[in-house]
A and B are shown apart, each in its own frame.
Chain A
C-alpha cells in the first residue's frame, strides 16, 4: 500500500523542552490512523509540522512524496488540516465562509460553486448555507470545519481532536464521515482523547509519549503484540454457561473471559481452526448470533504502551 504521509526523524524543541523527539511514522492511502498520547505528549506540534504550520529542527515529512519543509505550497494542496478549534469570522454565513476558503485555494467561477455545493451536501450543511457561522452548534461547526478542509479535495486529512465537545449523535455522524472519506481513498491522521471513538474507526495508531513514539502499527498487529493469540468475540442465544463449557472443550481456545453477554476468547489456531470452532458450536445447537474478531481496546493498549509521564 502506498504511503501518503511519511514522517521521519522529526525533532522540535521549544527552548530546553524537546516537544517532539525523533518521531517517525507513516499513514497509508485509504486508511484512518489514530494519533494518541497524553496531554503535552507532542501530538499537536507533530500535526502542525505535518500541516506545514511549524518547522522541525530536524527531520522531514513527505506528503505524497512532497516535502512539507522544502515545498510547503505544493504540500498544502495535498493536505487538509482541521485544527482543534474552528476560528469563526463574525458576520459571515456558512456559504460565505466556504466561498472565501474556496477562493483562497484558487477555485474559480462555476467550479467553485459546484465544489462548495458538493462539500455542503457531503457534510450535511446545505440547509444551513445562509446561517451566520457564529450561531452554529459545536457539531455543525465541526462539520463546517471539515467542509472547509475538504474544499480543495486533499489526499491527506490531518484532524486534531475533531470529536472533542461533540454529543454522542454528532460523534457517530462525524465518525461515519471520516470513514466515508477513507473509503474514497484518502489518508486520515486523527488525534483524539476519546479512545473508544478511535478504536471503532481507525486502522492503525501512533502512540506518542513525552515527544517520542511509544508504539505504532496497524490495530491487528498491536492486538497480536498485546496477546500472543487471535482474539475472537462469540455470543449465542444459548445460556452463557453452555457456551463457556463448549469453548473450554475446544483445544484451540487458551483463554476465555466474559464480555457483553458473550465471551472473548484467545484462540491459537488458524482460519481453518476458527471455521471448525464455529462449526462445532452450531453442531452443539448453540445458535451463534455474533462471531467476529475482537476489536482491540485502545484504552488498554494506550495504558500498556505508555507510562503516564507528562512533559
Chain B
C-alpha cells in the first residue's frame, strides 16, 4: 500500500473501518445482498420477458423496468440498510462493548458518525450492484432520464436519512424491551414511508409529462435541502442520547434547530416569491411553527442546572463568543432560543408587500388569523410544561413524560374540549365549533384574529405567557450560576498561576 493511502487509511474513522469489515463478513449482509440482487435479476427478467410487440408496450418498457427495480431499491434503502445500522448500534449495548468504545478515546459524535458512514458504504455497495439494472431502465424507451435520476437521488437522500433514524431508534433504547418496541415502530414507519414513496414514484414516472417541470423541481430541491437538515437534527439527537447528561450534549441539537429554522424561512420565502400566493406564506409559516416547536422540545425541557463538566469549560474561548451562552444546556436557554427561532420563521412575512400583493398591510389579512392562532397554540403547549420539565429536581422519567405530553398537547386539548362539549351540549358542538376552542381559528382562512372571536385562544396564549415568565426566572437563576462558576474558575486559575510562580 502506498504511504499516501496508508495515511488516508489511518485518518478514517475507526468505527467505519470496523463496521464495514464486520458487516461484509456478516451473514445478514451476505444473505440480504444476495437475495435482493437475485430479486432484482428475477424481476428485471420478468419485466423484459413480458414486453409485448405493441408500440404502447415497447414505449413504456423503460418506465416499467425502472419502476420495478427502483421499487426493490427503495426496500433496500428504507428497510435493509437501516436495519444493518440499527443492529450494529444495538449490538454495542447487548454485547457490552459500548463502554469500551467510550473510554477508548472516541467521542460519541465520532461513534455515531462512524456507524452512519459504515451503513452508507453498505448502501453504496447496494447501489453499485443495482446500478447496471437501473441503467438498463434508462436505455429502454419511455422513461424521462431527468425524472428517473431525480427520483433516484431522492431515494438515496431518504436512504441516508433512514439510516440515521434507525441508529437513533437503536441508540435511544436502554433495554431489550425498549429496543424491540422501537425497532418495531421503526419498521412500521419505514414500511409506511416506503409504501408512500413507492406509490408516489409510480405516479410520477407514469405521469411525468403531467407534472409541471418547475413544480417538480421545486419539490425536488426543497426535499434535498430539507432531508439533510432533518437528518442533521436526528444525528444531533442521537449523539445527545449517548452522551453523559452532565456534558454539553445539546449544543449540537440547538445548532441543528437553528439551521432548520433558517432553512424553513428561506424555503418559505423562495416558494412565496416564485408563486406569490398569500396562502403559501401563511400555511408555510404555520407549518414552520409546528416543526420548530417539535424540534425544540428536547432542548427546552432540559434541566436548568449545568453539570460539573459543563461548568468547568465555561471559561474556554468558545463559550465567551457573543450569544454562545444560548448553546449551553438548560431549558430556559432552550426556550429563549426557541422564541428566537419563531421570530426567524416569521420573517418571510416581511416579503408580503414587496412581492406585489394586493393587500396594503399584512396585519389586516383574515388568513393571518390562522398563523397567529398556530403561534399562540405552540406557545401555550410549550411554556408552562417545558418550565416544569426544566426544573432540576425533576427525574429523567418525569421529564420524558412531560416531553411526550407537550407533543400530544394539541390532541389532549381537542379531547378535553370535545368531552366538555358532550357534557354541556351533546351533539351541537357548541364549544368545539366556537372561539372557546383554542384551535378554532386554525384551518379558517375567513376569520381574523381578535380577543372576541377567539377567547379560548387568548386564554391559552396567556397560559403560554405565564410559562414564558417561569422560564425567565429560571434563566436569571441560571445566569447567576454561570457567573459564580466563571468567578470560581478565574480564582482557581489565578491560584494555579501563583503556585507555579
What residues make up the interface of A, taking CB atoms closer than 8 Å to B?
51-53, 55, 69-73, 76-77, 79, 81, 83, 85, 87-92, 96, 100-101, 103-106, 108-109, 112, 148, 152
Count of inter-chain pairs, beta carbons less than 8 A: 78
B4 → chain A, closest Cβ, in Å? 12
Bound complex: CA A77 to CA B105 (Å): 7
Closest-by-CB residue of B relative to A15 is: B395
A296 → chain B, closest Cβ, in Å? 33
The 3 closest A-B pairs by CB, nearest first: A87-B97, A103-B14, A104-B104
Chain A at the B interface: mostly helix, strand, loop or mixed?
loop
Give the total of B residues in contact with A, Cβ under 8 Å. 30
Contact flag A109-B7 (CB < 8 Å), given A76-B105, A100-B14, A100-B18: yes
Contact flag A104-B308 (CB < 8 Å), given A83-B99, A92-B22, A96-B18: no
Contact flag A83-B106 (CB < 8 Å), given A104-B14, A108-B10, A109-B6: no
What residues make up the interface of B, taking CB atoms closer than 8 Å to A?
6-7, 10, 14, 17-18, 21-22, 25-26, 91-92, 95-106, 244, 246, 307-309, 312
Asked if residues B26 and A90 are in contact (CB atoms below 8 Å), the reply is yes
Asked if residues A106 and B6 are in contact (CB atoms below 8 Å), the reply is no
A residues in contact with B95, CB < 8 Å: 87-89
Residue with the highest number of chain B CB atoms closer than 10 Å, among A79, A91, A96, A148: A91
A residues in contact with B96, CB < 8 Å: 83, 85, 87
Bound complex: CA A141 to CA B269 (Å): 60
Q: Report which of A53, A69, A71, A72 forms a contact with B99, defined as CB distance below 8 A.
A: A53
Closest-by-CB residue of B relative to A107 is: B10
Known A-B contacts: A87-B95, A91-B22. Give 7 more (CB < 8 A).
A55-B246, A55-B308, A101-B100, A103-B10, A103-B17, A109-B6, A152-B105
- 5 A–B pairs (Cβ distance < 8 Å), ordered by A: A72-B309, A73-B105, A88-B97, A90-B26, A91-B21
Asked if residues B22 and A89 are in contact (CB atoms below 8 Å), the reply is yes
Residue with the highest number of chain A CB atoms closer than 10 Å, among B17, B92, B95: B95
Q: Report which of B21, B99, B105, B246 forms a contact with A104, defined as CB distance below 8 A.
A: B105
Asked if residues B105 and A106 are in contact (CB atoms below 8 Å), the reply is yes
Asked if residues A70 and B26 are in contact (CB atoms below 8 Å), the reply is no
Residue with the highest number of chain A CB atoms closer than 10 Å, among B100, B102, B106, B309: B100
A88 → chain B, closest Cβ, in Å? 6
A residues in contact with B106, CB < 8 Å: 104
B175 → chain A, closest Cβ, in Å? 15
Asked if residues A52 and B103 are in contact (CB atoms below 8 Å), the reply is yes
Closest-by-CB residue of B relative to A73 is: B105
Closest-by-CB residue of B relative to A151 is: B104
Closest-by-CB residue of B relative to A101 is: B104
Closest-by-CB residue of A relative to B92 is: A87
Asked if residues B18 and A92 are in contact (CB atoms below 8 Å), the reply is yes
Asked if residues A79 and B103 are in contact (CB atoms below 8 Å), the reply is yes
A244 → chain B, closest Cβ, in Å? 54
Contact flag A70-B312 (CB < 8 Å), given A87-B97, A108-B10: yes
A65 → chain B, closest Cβ, in Å? 12
Bound complex: CA A51 to CA B103 (Å): 8
Bound complex: CA A83 to CA B106 (Å): 18
Q: Report which of A70, A87, A106 forms a contact with B100, defined as CB distance below 8 A.
A: A87
Q: Report which of B10, B98, B308 forms a contact with A69, defined as CB distance below 8 A.
A: B308
A residues in contact with B104, CB < 8 Å: 76, 101, 104-105
Residue with the highest number of chain B CB atoms closer than 10 Å, among A77, A79, A101: A101
Bound complex: CA A81 to CA B97 (Å): 12
Contact flag A69-B309 (CB < 8 Å), given A51-B103, A105-B105, A106-B105: yes
Bound complex: CA A87 to CA B102 (Å): 13
Closest-by-CB residue of A relative to B244 is: A55
Asked if residues B309 and A70 are in contact (CB atoms below 8 Å), the reply is yes
A residues in contact with B312, CB < 8 Å: 70-71
Bound complex: CA A101 to CA B14 (Å): 8
Bound complex: CA A239 to CA B106 (Å): 64
B residues in contact with A112, CB < 8 Å: 10
Bound complex: CA A85 to CA B244 (Å): 22
A residues in contact with B7, CB < 8 Å: 109
A81 → chain B, closest Cβ, in Å? 6
Bound complex: CA A85 to CA B99 (Å): 11
Contact flag A70-B308 (CB < 8 Å), given A87-B96, A100-B18, A103-B14: yes
Closest-by-CB residue of B relative to A88 is: B95
Bound complex: CA A91 to CA B102 (Å): 21
B residues in contact with A101, CB < 8 Å: 100, 104
B residues in contact with A152, CB < 8 Å: 105
A residues in contact with B91, CB < 8 Å: 90
Asked if residues B309 and A81 are in contact (CB atoms below 8 Å), the reply is no
Bound complex: CA A77 to CA B307 (Å): 22
A residues in contact with B6, CB < 8 Å: 109
Bound complex: CA A52 to CA B309 (Å): 12
B253 → chain A, closest Cβ, in Å? 21
A residues in contact with B105, CB < 8 Å: 73, 76-77, 104-106, 152
Asked if residues B99 and A89 are in contact (CB atoms below 8 Å), the reply is no
A284 → chain B, closest Cβ, in Å? 59
Bound complex: CA A137 to CA B95 (Å): 17
Closest-by-CB residue of B relative to A48 is: B99
Residue with the highest number of chain B CB atoms closer than 10 Å, among A69, A79, A89, A152: A89
Q: Report which of B97, B103, B308, B309 forms a contact with A89, defined as CB distance below 8 A.
A: B97
Bound complex: CA A89 to CA B25 (Å): 12
Asked if residues B10 and A109 are in contact (CB atoms below 8 Å), the reply is yes
Bound complex: CA A288 to CA B284 (Å): 96
A residues in contact with B246, CB < 8 Å: 55
Q: Report which of B10, B21, B100, B308 forms a contact with A83, defined as CB distance below 8 A.
A: B100
A residues in contact with B102, CB < 8 Å: 52-53
A133 → chain B, closest Cβ, in Å? 11
Asked if residues B17 and A100 are in contact (CB atoms below 8 Å), the reply is yes
B445 → chain A, closest Cβ, in Å? 52
Closest-by-CB residue of A relative to B104 is: A104
A residues in contact with B99, CB < 8 Å: 53, 81, 83, 87
Q: Report which of B10, B21, B103, B244 forms a contact with A96, defined as CB distance below 8 A.
A: B21
Asked if residues A89 and B18 are in contact (CB atoms below 8 Å), the reply is yes
Closest-by-CB residue of B relative to A84 is: B96
Closest-by-CB residue of A relative to B246 is: A55
B184 → chain A, closest Cβ, in Å? 23
